[in-house]
Amino acid sequence: MTAAERQPTTPPASAVLTALLQAADQEVPTAIALRRELHAAPELGGHETRTASQVAAALGEPSAPSVTTGRLVRIGAASGPSVAIRAELDALPLTEQTPVAWASRNGASHSCGHDVHLAALTAAGRAVRRVGGPLPLVAVLQPREESNPSGAQDMVGSPQLEAQDVRAVVGVHVHPHVARGQVSAGPGPVNAAYDEVTITVRGRGGHAAYPHETRDPVLAAAHVILALQHLISRRTDPMHSAVLTIGTVQAGTAANVIPEQVVLTGSLRTFDPADRASLPSAVSATAGATAEAYECTAQASFTRGEPVLNNDPALATAAAACLAQAGLRVVEPLRSCGSDDFAYYCARYPSLMMFAGVGQPGTPDGPGLHHPSFLPPEEAVGEVARAMLAGYVAACSVALSGAAQAHRDAADRMRIAPDGGGRGQR
């Protein structure tokens, strides 16, 4: 092999990224216009077909294959290894409270920034289509991120995604806890595992004036809520992050009636697998024993959600250099008990979730994710697109070096094999 033949067939990653960033910058005005359209007409989880069609069309493939209400758009060679970027299609059932002319008026709201992610992905994808990339890009337009069971479970393991030969998955989520122009791309666990609990406390209803003739489930439920907190503060290692939040309490229908039952729902978030395994039975036992003290009963049931979101260390390291090249400052990793179904991709592929800053200095109490006033600035579209491209180029370089290493390993095995040192050697 001559020296010329040993030259890589693609330009160095830095040159590719520079060209992609320049191309994406030219796509940003179109992407911002799309963001406004998506924002004005959001769709709830399970109903995102129009949103998916609009984004697929913007990515140049209106007839891209569907996966439930999502789509997969492949840009580049039709076969062979690829890198995927995930963006979420769904909005929240919230009445928007922002002053912009393009605010939603249909009772749903893009209050988690998914409109920004989708628009940014079109800018990034169109840049890859124009410039080319080290590996094909698969835009994963994922439904139902905010639901349980979530849309990531439709995608991960589906024949359509398996056919893409995905070697790494990249995600970017806007985050108000990170300042504008900054990105968190930390290795390891960054989001918690998520499970939901429903607790039904049953007693004996009756007249509010004669409580001694009843078994008041409201009083019992109040003590259950308090008692459950000791599972985090006294039964969980203080070095392990975990949180149990009771989010709904449904009791009676009248001020002068003691009801028959109270239903509590909540979320349990953990990082340690042993905590995730043991806390549900502790919740059941504590709720049951506490209710029993008030001559009531309590039964708990759990719905399992996503696992811990684990960022691949090699991708995080590679992305840091590319993010800097993209003009984004890499900051201390943001780790929280938030959860994201991107964790399912992490469990199947080397993956990297980045948090792109939309926080404004001096406004620490500004509206957060899922608040009806949350509205990332328009500049976020270009910044998220840059972060996506940085992650994509980083993931391509890691995937290609991994493939090159596997090739070298195979060649080494071939060299050992003829003298009997290969197969079965220990």
* Residues that bind Zn ion in the complex, under the rule CB under 5 A: 112
Least Å from the CB of residue 377 to Zn ion: 17
Reported as type and span, the H/E element at residue 174 is: strand 166-179
Alpha-helical regions (H) of 90-150: 114-131
Tokens standing for 1?
A: 């092999």
149 upstream amide cis, omega within 30 of 0: yes
Residue closest to Zn ion, measured at CB: 112
**Cβ atoms of 337 and 272 closer than 8 Å:** no
Least Å from the CB of residue 279 to Zn ion: 25
Least Å from the CB of residue 417 to Zn ion: 50
Minimum CB distance to Zn ion smaller for 207 or for 370: 370
Give the C-alpha separation, 119 to 373, whole Å: 20
Helix (H, G, I), strand (E, B) or coil at 273: helix
Give the C-alpha separation, 20 to 172, whole Å: 17
Query: Please, is 25 exposed, middle or buried when counting C-beta atoms within 10 Å of its C-beta (0-12, 13-18, 19+)?
Result: middle
Minimum CB distance to Zn ion smaller for 21 or for 112: 112
Least Å from the CB of residue 201 to Zn ion: 32
In sequence order, the 6+-apart residues with CB closer than 8 A to the CB of 401 are: none
Pick the closest to residue 189 from 114, 272, 274, 268 (CA basis): 272
Minimum CB distance to Zn ion smaller for 104 or for 286: 104
Query: What DSSP state is assigned to residue 360?
Result: P
Least Å from the CB of residue 340 to Zn ion: 7
Give the C-alpha separation, 385 to 73, whole Å: 16
Per the DSSP assignment, residues forming a β-bridge with 213 are: none
Minimum CB distance to Zn ion smaller for 144 or for 167: 144
Least Å from the CB of residue 79 to Zn ion: 32
Minimum CB distance to Zn ion smaller for 150 or for 214: 150
**Cβ atoms of 342 and 84 closer than 8 Å:** no
Minimum CB distance to Zn ion smaller for 145 or for 312: 145
Give the C-alpha separation, 232 to 52, whole Å: 40
Least Å from the CB of residue 88 to Zn ion: 6
Give the C-alpha separation, 128 to 399, whole Å: 17
Tell me which amino acid residue 165 is: D
Compute the CA torsion angle 62, 64, 69, 72 (nearest 10 deg): -130
In sequence order, the 6+-apart residues with CB closer than 8 A to the CB of 413 are: 422
Minimum CB distance to Zn ion smaller for 113 or for 134: 113
Minimum CB distance to Zn ion smaller for 172 or for 300: 172
Minimum CB distance to Zn ion smaller for 55 or for 112: 112
Least Å from the CB of residue 92 to Zn ion: 9
Least Å from the CB of residue 145 to Zn ion: 6
Q: Cα-flanking dihedrals φ and ψ of residue 385, to 5°? A: -60, -40
Minimum CB distance to Zn ion smaller for 142 or for 286: 142
Where would I find the beta strands (DSSP E) of 36-102?
66-67, 70-75, 82-88
Least Å from the CB of residue 23 to Zn ion: 27
